[in-house]
Amino acid sequence: MSKVFLIDTNFKPLNPIHPARARQLLRSKKAAVFRKFPFTLILKERLPDVEVEPLRLKIDPGAKTTGFALVNDSTGEVVFAAELQHRGFKIRDALTSRRQLRRSRRNRKTRYRAPRFNNRKRREKWISPSLQSRVDNIITWVKRLQKFAFISAISQELVRFDTQLMQNSEVSGVEYQQGTLAGYETRQYLLEKWGRKCAYCGVEHVPLQIEHIQARAKGGSNRISNLTLSCEKCNLKKGTKDVKEFLKKDPKKLEAIIKQAKKPLADAAAVNTTRFTLLATLKATGLEVETGSGGLTQFNRVQQNLDKTHWIDAACVGKSTPILKFKGVKPLLITAKGYGTRQMCGTNKYGFPTRHRSNKQIHFGFQTGDIVKAIVTKGKKIGVYIGRIATRSTGSFNVSTKAGLVQGISYKDCKVIHHKDGYAYAN
């Protein structure tokens, strides 16, 4: 069961509680709802002290979606899980359209002027706004969760493959089985490097075996640069033959294989600027940060026979992963929405101004991004709607509910259940 966060009268996080206990506290009026997403209660009175157990926040950062899991290391219980959808391309598109608009405006009927001075300087460690927003989204949530739960450590997936582990381990015959981590990572790495097909005949979707390019019997090494993947047929055919002899009739393929084999590890290591920037930022929180490779995450997940989702992957990050227990955990689905636009003049697709926005953000006490519960008792739209609203100065709002967009809901029927915080939520 996903647990409910609980904070004491001084806003200090306590142990997350079972939903049944939360209902009990609410019924007896000993606690009140502090926040809807993630669901958090605040105590109204002091309860007898219990020791607060430390939790580990585990993060699997992705390009589109980042998984979060709060895990109790000593019991293996997953207390809370979430999947955060980033804005990524939306930011890029908005910046591109703004740039084009400004450029066309500047270039209209103006003579060329040389720039007067160069004030276009990027600060050190600059990353593009769409990437920066991913880092910022994650940090926002780390800080938010820190307010509601006692987090003592963080685990983050940093790289796809642990190249260190593969370079240093003398992989012997036994280790090619998926049983050990080194063997597992080696296999995953080779699948990626050789495009998941037989290096010799190119056949796909068949079981592939790890193959020495220069045969062991002929002095070939166990290093990763001497390994490839082949189907069983080719593997048997090649036997202990030297690769040059085996591909005598196909010098083009031979050259390609040797070239591909020599490609350095760093190429495929997917050095991801976002992840390293994130690591530096996480370390700045002062918490202990553990990092793990994607291979390790997958190894942990497969060992425990778990499904692949973003939040389960997050729970499997790092060496510290215990045997996980998460019966009934439902991830909170979070979507980054931003805080709206500051553009005062809307244009059509040709850049022609068509609409003007007032600088008033709050209409009848509501603003776009608030999550409301609307109870409509008369008219065509009778019913109860819960969702994020888009406000209009007329007082007729749009509510995006789970079932879709509902237009024309009067402000009189709405009640805010969660104030705008830059994100939309679903369970």
Query: Omega of the bond prior to 38 within 30 degrees of 0, cis?
Result: yes
Which residue bears the tokens 């939306």?
90
210 near Zn ion (CB under 5 A) = no
Cα separation of 162 and 292, whole Å? 8
278 near Zn ion (CB under 5 A) = no
Q: Is 277 helix (H, G, I), strand (E, B) or coil?
A: helix
When the beta carbons of 200 and 385 are compared against Zn ion, the nearer one is 200
208 near Zn ion (CB under 5 A) = no
Instruction: Kindly write out the interface string for residues 8-27 of this chain, putting x where it contacts Zn ion by CB under 5 A and - elsewhere.
Output: --------------------
243 near Zn ion (CB under 5 A) = no
Stretch that binds Zn ion, among 11-19, 141-149, 178-186, 193-201 (CB under 5 A): 193-201
Q: Is 394 helix (H, G, I), strand (E, B) or coil?
A: coil
Cα-Cα-Cα-Cα torsion 325, 330, 336, 337, nearest 10 degrees, comes to: -170
Stretch that binds Zn ion, among 85-93, 197-205, 258-266, 396-404 (CB under 5 A): 197-205
When the beta carbons of 252 and 349 are compared against Zn ion, the nearer one is 252
| Cβ 217 to Zn ion shortest distance, Å | 20
When the beta carbons of 155 and 228 are compared against Zn ion, the nearer one is 228
Task: Give Cβ neighbours of residue 7 (< 8 Å, ≥ 6 apart).
Answer: 13, 14, 34, 40, 41, 42, 43, 147, 148
Q: Is 90 helix (H, G, I), strand (E, B) or coil?
A: helix
Task: Give Cβ neighbours of residue 343 (< 8 Å, ≥ 6 apart).
Answer: 98, 357
> How many other C-beta atoms lie within 10 A of the C-beta of residue 336?
21
Distances (CA, A) of 170 to 173, 174, 176, 182: 10, 11, 11, 9
229 near Zn ion (CB under 5 A) = no
Which residue bears the tokens 């080779």?
190
Query: Considering only residues 198, 312, 336, 389, which one is a binding residue for Zn ion as defined by CB under 5 A?
Result: 198
59 near Zn ion (CB under 5 A) = no
234 near Zn ion (CB under 5 A) = yes
257 near Zn ion (CB under 5 A) = no
When the beta carbons of 187 and 310 are compared against Zn ion, the nearer one is 187
Distances (CA, A) of 194 to 36, 204, 263, 378: 48, 11, 11, 64
When the beta carbons of 159 and 213 are compared against Zn ion, the nearer one is 213
When the beta carbons of 81 and 198 are compared against Zn ion, the nearer one is 198
When the beta carbons of 186 and 228 are compared against Zn ion, the nearer one is 228
Residues 130, 336 contacting (CB under 8 angstroms): no
Take residue 264 and report the two structure tokens written for it.
């350095």
332 near Zn ion (CB under 5 A) = no
When the beta carbons of 204 and 288 are compared against Zn ion, the nearer one is 204
- How many residues touch Zn ion (CB under 5 A)? 6
117: burial class by Cβ within 10 Å (0-12, 13-18, 19+)? exposed
| Cβ 389 to Zn ion shortest distance, Å | 59
Residues 330, 312 contacting (CB under 8 angstroms): no
For 39-91, list the strands marked E by DSSP.
40-43, 55-60, 65-72, 77-85
For 167-271, list the strands marked E by DSSP.
209-212, 227-230
Stretch that binds Zn ion, among 28-36, 61-69, 231-239, 304-312 (CB under 5 A): 231-239
When the beta carbons of 237 and 415 are compared against Zn ion, the nearer one is 237
231 near Zn ion (CB under 5 A) = yes
Stretch that binds Zn ion, among 32-40, 100-108, 230-238, 369-377 (CB under 5 A): 230-238
Query: Considering only residues 201, 256, 344, 417, which one is a binding residue for Zn ion as defined by CB under 5 A?
Result: 201
Binding site for Zn ion (CB under 5 A): 198, 200-201, 203, 231, 234
